[in-house]
Amino acid sequence: MTSNIRVIPATIQRTSAQSMNPSAKRRTAAYARVSTDSEEQMTSYEAQVDYYTRYIKGRTDWLFSGIYTDEGISAVNTKKRDGFNKMVTDALAGKLDLIVTKSVSRFARNTVDSLSTVRKLKEKGVEVFFEKENIYTFDDKGELLITIMSSLAQEESRSISENVTWGQRKRFADGKVSMPYKRFLGYEKGEDGIPKIVESEAEIVRLIYRLFMEGRTSSAIAKHLAASGIPSPGGKQKWQVATVNSILTNEKYKGDALLQKRFTVDFLTKTIKDNEGEFPQYYVQNSHPGIIAPDEFDAVQAEIERRKQLGRPVACQSPLSTKLVCGDCGGFFGSKVWGSNTKYRRMIWRCNEKYKGNAKCNTPHVTEDEVKEKFVEAFNSILEYREELIANCRLVQETICDYADINTEIDALRREMEVVAELSRKSIYENAHTAIDQEEWQEWNNGYLERHRIASERVIELEELKRERQSKSLLLEGFTQNLATCEKALETFDERIWMAAIDKVMIHSDGELVFGFKDGTKIIR
C-alpha cells in the first residue's frame, strides 16, 4: 500500500533575517557599549546610539523599541552591566522580538555568558543579530558561529588583561608610583607624573595624625572630623573608621610607597586579592614628597601596636574613654547609665571588670564632672614647675628617646646582611659550576644563612625599639608644646590639653585619682 504524505507548512518564523509576514513588525532594540570613559570612546558610544536609532527606524519590518546602553563598562562579565541586564529582563518579559548589536565582542567577551544569554533569549523567541559577523541566532549555524567568535573575543580579552598586568608590574619594578587621586586625601597628580601635595588636604592628614598621638581613637577622630564639617576623601560628610585607619597606616603619607599590595586573581571575574606573597612587592623610599615626617609616621605605627597590646577599645564616645584605669584589676573604666528611664537618670564610670570573675573590684564609680574637675586641679598644680618640666622633657628626649646609636647598629647589620647574601650567592654559583663535597658545602651555606637570620632578627628588634623611642619622643613633644603655650591656669576642662597631657588616670579603692602625665609625672587628687 502506497503512503500518502501531505506537507503542512510552518506558520511560525524561526530563521529571521527577515519576517515571513511583512505586515507583522518585529519589536527591535539595540545594545551599545563602550569599555572606558575616555573622550574618544564616548564619541564611539554616541555614534553607536545614533547609528542604531536610524538603522532600526529605517527598516519597515522593524518597530523601534529603544536603545539599551552601558558606558565605561567591561564586557568580560555581565553582572555589573545594568543596561545589558535590563535589556535581557525586558526581552524575557516579552517586550522585545529582536536585539541588534554591533558584534559578538560588544555583547560579551565571556563565552559562557554569551551562550547562556543567547539560549535564554532563544527559548523565549527572542533573536539576536550581530551586525559585524552577520549572525542571526535563529539560523542553524548561529550558535556554532557565536561559540567561535565568543571564544576569540574571550581570548582577546585575556591577552589585553595580561598585557595591562605586565605593564603594571613593569611600572612597579621600575618604582613608578600611582595613586587613586580622586579618593586619596592629600595628593594630586603632578605635571611630571609624581604625586604632588595638596596643602589644604594635607592639613587634614596632619590633623588626623596629631589627634591620634594626643590619645584619640580612630572612632573619635572620625566623629571629630565629621563634627568639624570636613568631608571624607570620597566627599561624604560621615567618616568611616576604616578610612581613618587607612590614612594612619598608609606609608605613602611619609613619602614611601609599597607597590603591588593587591592583584587581580582572574580576568573574567575581576576578583582582587591582597598580595600575601604570590607576587613580588617593591618598597620605594622617597618616591614622592611626604606629608608626614618619617619619624612621626613610625611613631604612630608604634602607638598603634602599643594600643593593640593593651587591648584598648576601638570606639569611644568621650575623652575619658581608654584613660581611666582600675587600681585593683588594671581594667578600663567604662560609662554606665543609672536610672535610664527615670528623672534621676545619670551617667557614671565604673570598672568594666568589676563583677567579672570571683574577686570583685573594690574601686568606686566616678562621674565625668568629678574627673574633669580634679584634672583641672592636677594640671594647674604642675604649672608652677612648668619650666622645670619642659627642661626635663627635653632632656629625656635627648637621652632616653635618642636613637642615633640604634641607627648606627642597624646600618652595620644591614651591611653584614649584604655581605653574607653575596657570599651565599657566590657559594651557590661555585657549587653549580665545580665539583664540591656536598656535606662541606651545605655546612658553609647553612652558616651564611644562619648569620643572615640572626642579623635580620636583630634588625627587627632594633627597629621596634626605635619606633618605641620615636613614639615616646613625639608624645613628650606634644606634652611640652601644650605646657609652653598654656601661660595661665585652666579655669575649665580643656579636652585638647587633656588628650595631649594625660596618659592614664589610676582610680584606687580609697577613691584617690592618680593622674599620670605623659612625661611620667604623677599627681594624686
Q: Checking phi first, is residue 403 left (phi over 0); if not, alpha (psi -120 to 50) or beta?
A: alpha
**Residue that has been written with the C-alpha cell 623611642 in this structure:** 469
Last residue in a domain, options 111, 137, 161: 161
* In contact, 498 and 507? CB cutoff 8 Å: no
Same domain, 416 and 509: yes
Kindly report the CATH number assigned to the domain that includes residue 106. Answer: 3.40.50.1390
Within-domain flag for 108:
yes
Model confidence at 358: pLDDT above 90 = no
Same domain, 213 and 338: no
| pLDDT tens profile 146-180 | 666 666 666 666 665 666 655 565 665 665 677 77
Distance, CA of 311 to CA of 373 (rounded, Å)? 28
Burial of 373 (C-beta count, 10 Å sphere; 0-12/13-18/19+): middle
Last residue in a domain, options 307, 342, 367: 307
Same domain, 258 and 127: no
Model confidence at 263: pLDDT above 80 = no
Same domain, 246 and 113: no
Same domain, 447 and 411: yes
Distance, CA of 385 to CA of 447 (rounded, Å)? 57
pLDDT band, very low/low/confident/very high, at 299 (cuts 50, 70, 90): confident
* In contact, 374 and 515? CB cutoff 8 Å: yes
Same domain, 515 and 419: yes
Domain range for 72 is 26-161
Within-domain flag for 112:
yes
When comparing pLDDT for 510 and 317, which is higher?
510
CA neighbor of 401 nearest in space, from 471, 473, 477, 296: 473
Same domain, 293 and 358: no
Structural domain total, the chain: 3
* In contact, 150 and 104? CB cutoff 8 Å: yes
Whether pTM > 0.85 for this model: the answer is: no
Within-domain flag for 132:
yes
Same domain, 121 and 251: no
Same domain, 299 and 340: no
What percent of the chain lies above the pLDDT cut of 90?
Answer: 8
Within-domain flag for 58:
yes
Distance, CA of 108 to CA of 130 (rounded, Å)? 11
Kindly report the CATH number assigned to the domain that includes residue 253. Answer: 3.90.1750.20
Query: Residue 352's pLDDT is what?
Result: 85
Distance, CA of 401 to CA of 483 (rounded, Å)? 19
Read off the pLDDT of each residue in 400-427 and give the average, rounded to a whole number: 86
Last residue in a domain, options 114, 145, 161: 161
Model confidence at 224: pLDDT above 70 = yes
Grid coordinates standing for 110?
Answer: 565571556
> Cβ–Cβ contacts within 10 Å for residue 147, how many?
15
* In contact, 413 and 421? CB cutoff 8 Å: no
Same domain, 336 and 245: no
CA neighbor of 275 nearest in space, from 266, 284, 265: 265
Same domain, 157 and 85: yes
Same domain, 141 and 199: no
Within-domain flag for 466:
yes
